[in-house]
């Protein structure tokens, strides 16, 4: 079977790897310059930030086996510091996620996971698919290239318009993605707290997740005597300020960060605002509902099982199995 996959995020890479390992031919089309999708890394000067998923917690799922057994583990880090909670003013003792789980990241950035998963696959980068052609003699085509099956692997709202181009609309309407404003901050301040991230579980405070990148992957994310932080803002704040200027978002975020961590955090030497329009799904749709039995045009992503790296990967595995059964 010759299968086209649109999107080289976790879901798309999982589909392509599984099919290829079973002897099928796959071509992955990716609009960006790198694989991984929302498992993304941004390098600015001497700093390295995970601008999307800051840690990977596969909880014994298929992705964990891949990470530890099938892929190169040389840059793999098991994060040894815990997550703590904050209330906007103080760091609370305890209060992080109560379920014990192994958290992973990669020394050079979590994009490494996408790079490792993409090894050996035919990925066409900087190739944005605008439409799917449906030739009269069957199958599907992308940019004139024919496939017996096609998998659209991206956020539901983007998948919807591509599916419509194939005149094959799907009931994906319950899935809405929330935006997330993410700040990548580099400070000329040493900071090595007894935690690697702070979470605000009530989603009442604008700063819902603060990842101390330089504490998570010591020696890899910031120069000696410096620190790298990734701050993710909550859904309400992100919606309200999505179109605001970078300066305003930075000013408000740094004021909150300073209130929480102290005065060294009011003047970063690196400050970049990343706008995720589709960060996490607010609802899911079952694989069966999104993909009627018998179709060879599948849609998949983290909106099937939930907005996490390992769940996006798992959804890709489900799609590959379905294609092999069909
Ligand atoms: C800010 C943020 C923080 C997160 N934190 C965590 C975390 O700590 N832990 C965790 O497990 N998960 C986290 N997640 C969620 C996790 O990153 C996602 O659930 C998962 O990566 C989604 O994978 P996917 O394959 O479904 O979609 P995506 O990663 O979005 O992949 C879709 C791919 O399709 C490509 N594409 C889109 N349109 C086209 C087109 N027309 N043509 C070609 N290619 C196209 C995109 O460029 C992208 O590479 C976070 C996400 C965000 C945004």
Q: Is the CB of 275 under 6 A from ligand 1?
A: no
**The pair of three-digit structure tokens given for residue 124, joined into one six-digit string:** 């066409």
CA of 10 to the centre of ligand 1 (A): 7
Q: Is the pLDDT of residue 94 over 70?
A: no
- pLDDT by residue (tens digit) across 153-196? 999 999 998 999 998 888 887 889 999 999 999 999 999 999 99
**The pair of three-digit structure tokens given for residue 225, joined into one six-digit string:** 């005597």
Q: Is the pLDDT of residue 98 over 70?
A: no
146: enclosing H helix or E strand: strand 145-147
- pLDDT by residue (tens digit) across 268-293? 999 999 999 999 999 999 999 999 99
d(CA 148, CA 137): 11
**The pair of three-digit structure tokens given for residue 250, joined into one six-digit string:** 């930075």
CA of 307 to the centre of ligand 1 (A): 9
| Residue among 37, 101, 117, 198 to mutate when testing ligand 1 (max atoms within 8 A of CB) | 37
d(CA 13, CA 261): 38
Q: Is the CB of 301 under 6 A from ligand 1?
A: yes
Helix (H, G, I), strand (E, B) or coil at 14: helix
CA of 11 to the centre of ligand 1 (A): 9
CA of 30 to the centre of ligand 1 (A): 12
d(CA 107, CA 159): 32
- pLDDT by residue (tens digit) across 293-306? 999 999 999 999 99
Q: What is the mean pLDDT of residues 119-145?
A: 95
57: enclosing H helix or E strand: none
Atom of ligand 1 nearest to the CA of 311: 19
Helix (H, G, I), strand (E, B) or coil at 85: strand
Q: Is the pLDDT of residue 96 over 80?
A: no
The residue whose C-alpha atom lies closest to atom 50 belonging to ligand 1 is 53
> From residue 235, how far is each of 161, 181, 242, 250, 252 by CA, in Å?
24, 9, 10, 16, 15
Q: At what angle do helices 309-325 and 10-21 cross, to 10 degrees?
A: 40
pTM listed for this prediction: 0.96
| Domain 2-325 = CATH 3.40.50.12280 | no
Atom of ligand 1 nearest to the CA of 180: 1
The residue whose C-alpha atom lies closest to atom 5 belonging to ligand 1 is 53
CA of 282 to the centre of ligand 1 (A): 14
């Amino acid at each position: 079977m010759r299968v086209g996959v649109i999107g080289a995020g976790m879901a798309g890479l999982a589909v392509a790897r599984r099919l290829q390992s079973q002897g099928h031919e796959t071509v992955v089309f990716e609009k960006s310059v790198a694989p991984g999708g929302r498992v993304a890394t941004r390098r600015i000067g001497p700093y390295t930030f995970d601008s999307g998923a800051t840690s990977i917690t596969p909880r014994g799922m298929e992705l964990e086996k891949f990470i530890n057994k099938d892929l190169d583990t040389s840059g793999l880090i098991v994060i040894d510091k815990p997550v703590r909670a904050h209330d906007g003013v103080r760091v609370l003792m305890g209060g992080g996620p109560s379920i014990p789980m192994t958290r992973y990241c990669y020394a050079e950035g979590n994009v490494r996971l996408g790079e490792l998963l993409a090894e050996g696959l035919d990925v066409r980068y900087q190739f944005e698919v605008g439409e799917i052609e449906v030739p009269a003699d069957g199958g599907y085509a992308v940019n004139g290239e024919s496939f017996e099956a096609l998998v659209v692997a991206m956020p539901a709202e983007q998948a919807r318009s591509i599916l419509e181009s194939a005149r094959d609309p799907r009931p994906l309407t319950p899935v809405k993605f929330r935006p997330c404003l993410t700040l990548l901050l580099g400070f000329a301040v040493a900071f090595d707290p007894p935690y690697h991230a702070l979470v605000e579980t009530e989603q009442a405070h604008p700063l819902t997740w603060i990842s101390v990148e330089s504490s998570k992957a010591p020696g890899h994310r910031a120069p000696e005597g410096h620190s790298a932080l990734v701050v993710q803002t909550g859904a309400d704040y992100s919606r309200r300020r999505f179109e605001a200027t970078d300066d305003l978002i930075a000013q408000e975020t740094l004021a909150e960060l300073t209130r929480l961590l102290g005065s060294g955090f009011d003047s970063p030497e690196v400050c970049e605002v990343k706008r995720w329009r589709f960060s996490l799904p607010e609802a899911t749709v079952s694989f069966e509902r999104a993909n009627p039995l018998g179709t060879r045009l599948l849609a998949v992503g983290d909106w099937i099982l939930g907005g996490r790296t390992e769940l996006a990967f798992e959804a890709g595995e489900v799609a590959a199995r379905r294609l092999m059964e069909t």
